Amino acid sequence: MDAFARRIVPLIRYHRLALAFALLVGVTAVAPHFLAVYSLQGQYQGVPFLFLDNEYTYLDRIREILDGHPLVGSPLLFEYKSSIAPVLPFGEYLYVLLYLLSGASLVTAVIVSKFLFPAILFLLAYVLVYLLASEQKSEGSRMTALAGGLAVIFGYDIMNLQATAKLLSGSADASYLLVWTRLVNPVTGAMFLLVFLILEYLIFARRTKYLFIPAGIVLGIMSSYFFSWGTALAVAGSLTVIAFGLRRTRNALLLLGSIAVSVFVQASFLFRLGLLTDSANLTTLGLRNGLLLMRQPVVNKVVLATTIIALAVFAYQLYSLRKQERTVPLWWWYLLALLSASWIVFNQQIITGRAIWYFHFVQYTIPLSVILIVVMVGTMLRPKFPKLLMAFVILTIVGTLSYGVLAAATYRIKQPEFARRQSYQPLFSELDRHPGPCVVFTVEDTDTIGQMIAAHTHCDLYWTTYSFFGIPPERIIHNFLLLLRLRGIAAADIDSYLHQHIGEVHAYFFRDWLQLFSDQTDQDTEATISRLVDAYQELAKKNLADELFKYKLDYIVTSGDLEARIDSTLSLKLLETYGDQNLYSIVKKN
């Protein structure tokens, strides 16, 4: 223990500034939640500040694991808990672990994660940049690493130039919450990715024995989120090719070893994928989960700009190295692998004919570009222009932190909605007291209240737009048509309604994600609408109670008066009103 302390204490002292900045990053990241709670002046009921995309869906997936469904086959619908999910929820397991270690409530663990995970991500980025910068054996590596770490944390959001301009001009019309505070993804994928990049660098540059095993395990775990896994695999492949090209055969074999270990870790995933192939059309499943059948090249502007900067700096460095009769250092080859991987993830479909919603790769290619630029600029400026380098580092640190503070202050834009959501906490508490399994039918235009119910209680939902896997098509149709009936859509108006709500039709019956995010009709959409119109006409003739109770149902939650929309086959009882939501119990009449 004493020997360990003698090694770790000097290390902590040497990098104490990085630890201080990690604390600052964490505070900045979690600040919107505490500022929003403080602004409520005692009216906070326990509903957390969650306003990034799909956060309640992810929170429900975490709760699903805690409720005894570790594979999360069907996070929202009661009947399909044993469904085969295409990927394992490794990212969600980190939150479960934090919950178990903290001993606090799940909501508290989630809030802690918004502080802890960005801070960890900063430290990982700091370590990687420090390793690359320290290979140059000159002063300033720690400051360069600080700049690189902060640029990774805030760079993704800053790259949204239109939003950044609004923020700086004081005309922000949306809340600019830090992307790394979003639950599960992309932050867990980024943490796994940076751990993997650090291990791969040590294998590539230093031929460290046995690191290929943890590197392979991390790579295998990343298969739970395709975009971090795809980026990591592209880096590993690029590094392996470069290592063979440099005749560093042992390093190359170790890199290949990490890929081999990852295949072993992914064995369960590959087995599950095989089961899905037997039970459903794999291409159809892929299309509903982001698969695009294409061969067109994709040029990402950030990657292109980074490439131009890299080529310019490399040309300058190559000229300097030749004058000194020195070879290109290994860390430069490592940067080349990062750059190559950024091009590969956007363009591998030219060969394979398949891409997975490549727009999301920017979550990881932007941090890679940031690391490249910080290290390269530091390399170019350090030997002859140390003061200019320090100015660059200070400007980066001040600029990124200033952005973080300004962005955190935009919580005010969501404050009215945050205050309104607090009125739902008694509803969640009431539903959570239901003994045994519980299913709620929400009658709203969106599924926001439903997602919140699923995330804050043990209850499942009757319907959801989260239908990427595990739900039979006939159940999706059944849910959608019943929702429209309880909304009070007349059978005579159904065709007009569907044509006026193309986006809603696509939310349930999308072919692929291009159609999912489109509000334009096409031949496929028209065919879907035609089938829905016929099915709705038939539903209007049927007994509503029989249709509703085909599946488990305990409560209905709606903001409107439901009694006028049901027939004599059902008996409703208004239990309580919570804010703008009414809670009904429902019974089928004999």
Q: pLDDT by residue (tens digit) across 517-561?
A: 999 999 999 999 999 999 999 999 999 999 999 999 999 999 888
Q: Does 95 have pLDDT greater than 90? A: yes
Helix (H), strand (E), coil (C) string for 109-163: HHHHHHHHHHHHHHHHHHHHHHHHHHCCCCCCHHHHHHHHHHHHHHHHHHCCHHH
What are 277-281's contacts with CB under 8 Å, separation 24+?
279/84
Q: Residue 317 — very low, low, confident or very high, per pLDDT cuts 50/70/90?
A: confident
Q: pLDDT by residue (tens digit) across 227-245?
A: 999 999 999 999 999 999 9
Q: Which pLDDT belongs to residue 465?
A: 92
Q: Which pLDDT belongs to residue 197?
A: 98
The tokens for 352 are 């394979």
Question: With the C-alpha atoms ordered 255, 260, 264, 269, is the resulting torsion angle positive or negative?
Answer: positive
Task: Give the DSSP letter of residue 79.
Answer: G
**How many CB atoms are located within 10 Å of the residue 25 CB?**
27
| Three-state secondary structure call for residue 424 | coil
Q: Are strands 460-461 and 570-578 parallel, antiparallel or unpaired?
A: unpaired
Q: Does 84 have pLDDT greater than 90? A: no
Q: Residue 82 — very low, low, confident or very high, per pLDDT cuts 50/70/90?
A: confident
Q: Residue 85 — very low, low, confident or very high, per pLDDT cuts 50/70/90?
A: confident
Q: Which pLDDT belongs to residue 325?
A: 59
In angstroms, the CA 326 to CA 383 distance is: 15
Q: Which pLDDT belongs to residue 276?
A: 61
Kindly tell me the burial class for residue 353, based on how many C-beta atoms sit within 10 Å of its own C-beta (0-12, 13-18, 19 or more). Answer: exposed
In the predicted model, what is the mean pLDDT of the chain?
Answer: 91
pLDDT above 90 covers a percentage of the chain that reads 73
What are the φ and ψ backbone dihedral angles of 522, each rounded to 5 degrees? -145, -175
What are 479-485's contacts with CB under 8 Å, separation 24+?
479/508, 480/508, 480/509, 480/532, 481/532, 481/535, 481/536, 481/539, 482/441, 482/539, 482/547, 482/548, 483/443, 484/536, 485/536, 485/539, 485/540, 485/544, 485/565
Closest CA relative to residue 337, chosen from 55, 128, 61: 128
| Three-state secondary structure call for residue 586 | strand
Q: Are 371 and 302 in contact (CB under 8 A)?
A: no
Q: Are 555 and 438 in contact (CB under 8 A)?
A: yes
In angstroms, the CA 403 to CA 164 distance is: 8
- Give residue 352's identity as a one-letter amino acid code: T
Say which residues have a Cβ less than 8 Å from residue 138's Cβ, sequence separation at least 6.
382, 383
In angstroms, the CA 132 to CA 38 distance is: 42
Q: pLDDT by residue (tens digit) across 138-163?
A: 567 899 999 999 999 999 999 999 99
The tokens for 287 are 């299309």
Task: Give the DSSP letter of residue 329.
Answer: P
Closest CA relative to residue 390, chosen from 146, 153, 155: 146
pLDDT above 70 covers a percentage of the chain that reads 96
pTM of structure: 0.94
Q: Residue 314 — very low, low, confident or very high, per pLDDT cuts 50/70/90?
A: confident
DSSP codes joined into one string, 300-325: -HHHHHHHHHHHHHHHHHHHHHHHTT
Q: Which pLDDT belongs to residue 278?
A: 53
In angstroms, the CA 369 to CA 349 distance is: 21
What are the φ and ψ backbone dihedral angles of 85, each rounded to 5 degrees? -80, 140
Cis peptide bond upstream of 186, omega within 30? yes
- Give residue 135's identity as a one-letter amino acid code: E
Q: pLDDT by residue (tens digit) across 372-385?
A: 999 988 887 777 78
Q: pLDDT by residue (tens digit) across 277-303?
A: 654 567 888 889 899 999 999 999 999
Say which residues have a Cβ less than 8 Å from residue 399's Cβ, sequence separation at least 6.
none
In angstroms, the CA 550 to CA 570 distance is: 14
| Three-state secondary structure call for residue 576 | strand
In angstroms, the CA 118 to CA 157 distance is: 14
Core vs surface per residue 459-482: b (16+ CB within 10 A) or e: bbbbbbbbbebbbeeebbbbbbbb
Q: Does 54 have pLDDT greater than 90? A: yes
Helix (H), strand (E), coil (C) string for 274-299: HHHHHHCCHHHHHHCCCEEECCCCCC
**Least confident range of 14-23, 215-224, 314-323, 396-405:** 314-323
Q: pLDDT by residue (tens digit) across 400-457?
A: 999 999 999 999 999 999 999 999 999 999 999 998 899 999 998 888 999 999 999 9
Say which residues have a Cβ less than 8 Å from residue 106's Cβ, sequence separation at least 6.
59, 62, 63, 66, 99
